[in-house]
Structure 1
Amino acid sequence: MKLLLIRHGQTPSNVIGALDTARPGPGLTGLGHAQAAAIPAALQGERIDAIYASPLVRTQLTAAPLAEDRSLDVQVVEGLEEISAGDWEMHSDREAVEGYVRTARRWLTGDVDVTIEGGESGTEFFARYDAAIDAIASNHQDGAVVVVSHGAAIRVWAAARLQGIDLDDAAHWRLYNTGMAVLDGDPDAGWQLVSWHQDPLGGADLEDPEALDVPAEPVGEPGDPVETPTG
């Protein structure tokens, strides 16, 4: 199975650097809509059997232009939503962002029982994201699907589940709005990384250099430069 994990388009919270993970979440900015509109052309020639999105509004809006282009429905799946910020919801201060990032790093080093206060533990996050991907994979064993999800969720899940990946390298992967990770495999045999597109699928011209949301080093070591990791 080929799995195309795409981060949603830019939101107002991405612009201001807020940890925005609650439902239903914001819509897209004008740039976010432009990023979403560029996806169909960027994926022209790619086989796509189905399109999935999280319960948050921004992923569904991002998936809509591709769904219209391919005459497919956007199927909403529980479990694909962003890692919950809990008590740090809508915070943009360094303390909150560093706490969120460092918790995710601990999950990747095996400390999955650590909980984001008011949010979820690593055990809970991986259980629900694995369940969502497993359900999708069971319907498309030999197919190719697009899953529109969220920055921290994609990066943390991929770093934990991809085979042959150096976590120190994975910690420094960037994923801008409408960036994409392409995986091949299945939940039983495991997942291999085919490619990692950090830039918007429509090209680097669709990045916003003024936005505070630059999702770099989302699970970096304590002391690393920390930039807003979610969306």
Structure 2
Amino acid sequence: MRLLLIRHGQTLSNVRHLLDTAAPGPGLTPLGTAQAAALPRVLAAEEIDALYASPLVRARLTAAPPAAARGLPVTVRDGIRELSAGDLEMLPGDAPEAAPYLRTAFAWSAGHTALRVPGGESGVEALARFDAVIEEAYRSGAGTVAMISHGAAIRVWTAARAVNVGIAFAAARPLANTGMITLAGGPATGWHALAWEATTLRPPGAPGPTGEPLDPTG
């Protein structure tokens, strides 16, 4: 299966750099609405068979334009919502007090899934719910599936499940609003990331654009 993991369009909380993870969440800014409206053009080359979205307002609004353009229903699933910030909710993301959020989340990608965001979920819970939606989409038989989800959830799940994406690579590359990670594979065989936004990923040691080895696990 080809899997397109797409971050939602811009919200006011994104502009203010806030850890805003709770439901129902904010809507889109005018820029976020324009980003969502541009998705049908951005995805024009993809043969999308199914479209999923998180239940948070910003994800459903972002999914609406590509759904209308393709004549596809939007399958809303709670499992691909944002990673819960728990007690850190609405803190500025760059504040020292907010540091445990991403530090804990990327520790999950390294296998430390028993850790828990203060007042929030554990890695066991977070990865299991995201995995369940991926499994559902895979079992549907769809060739290409697009999922409108959230920045931290997408990056952490990809670092945990894609064989060619290292944690340092994922942690250093926040997704832009409506940024996309493209993967191929399946739950049983594993996932291989093909592209991270504009960066094309290759297996470790494969030649890069100017012939040098490119190791996306770094």
TM-score range, shorter chain: 0.7 to 0.9
1:164 aligns with 2:135: no
In the superposition, the TM-score normalised over structure 1's length comes to 0.82
Give the SS at the match of 1:113.
coil
How far, CA to CA, are the matches of 1:96 and 1:28 in structure 2?
26
How far, CA to CA, are the matches of 2:164 and 2:90 in structure 1?
35
1:94 aligns with 2:95: yes
How far, CA to CA, are the matches of 1:23 and 1:83 in structure 2?
11
In the superposition, the TM-score normalised over structure 2's length comes to 0.87
Name the aligned partner's letter for residue 127 of structure 1. A
How far, CA to CA, are the matches of 1:85 and 1:96 in structure 2?
12
How far, CA to CA, are the matches of 2:63 and 2:95 in structure 1?
31
Aligned position for 1:16: 16
Identity %, equivalent residues? 54
Aligned position for 2:151: 151
Where in structure 1 are there 5+ consecutive unaligned residues? 200-231
Contact 1:6–1:180 (CA<8 Å) still a contact in 2?
A: yes
Q: Measured at CA, do residues 55 and 87 of structure 1 come closer, stay the same or move farther in structure 2, by a change above 3 Å?
A: same
Higher mean displacement: 149-158 or 84-93: 84-93
Name the aligned partner's letter for residue 185 of structure 2. G
How far, CA to CA, are the matches of 2:47 and 2:146 in structure 1?
10
Where in structure 2 are there 5+ consecutive unaligned residues? 200-218
Contact 1:175–1:198 (CA<8 Å) still a contact in 2?
A: no
State how 1:114-153 maps to structure 2 within 5 Å: 114-141=115-142, 143-153=143-153
1:174 shift after superposition? 2.8
1:110-157, Cα deviation, whole Å (9 max, x unpaired): 22111112110111111111111111111135x111100000000000
Residue-pair matches, total = 198
Contact 2:158–2:165 (CA<8 Å) still a contact in 1?
A: no
How far, CA to CA, are the matches of 2:53 and 2:174 in structure 1?
21
Give the SS at the match of 1:79.
helix
1:71-96, Cα deviation, whole Å (9 max, x unpaired): 11111012000000001111116123
1:109 shift after superposition? 2.5
1:30 aligns with 2:43: no
1:4 aligns with 2:4: yes
* 4+ long deviations beyond 4 Å: none
Contact 1:107–1:114 (CA<8 Å) still a contact in 2?
A: yes
1:198 shift after superposition? 5.6
How far, CA to CA, are the matches of 1:112 and 1:96 in structure 2?
21
Contact 1:7–1:179 (CA<8 Å) still a contact in 2?
A: yes
State how 1:31-46 maps to structure 2 within 5 Å: 31-46=31-46
How far, CA to CA, are the matches of 2:8 and 2:97 in structure 1?
22
How far, CA to CA, are the matches of 2:139 and 2:34 in structure 1?
32
1:99 shift after superposition? 1.5
Contact 2:110–2:160 (CA<8 Å) still a contact in 1?
A: no
Contact 2:11–2:26 (CA<8 Å) still a contact in 1?
A: yes
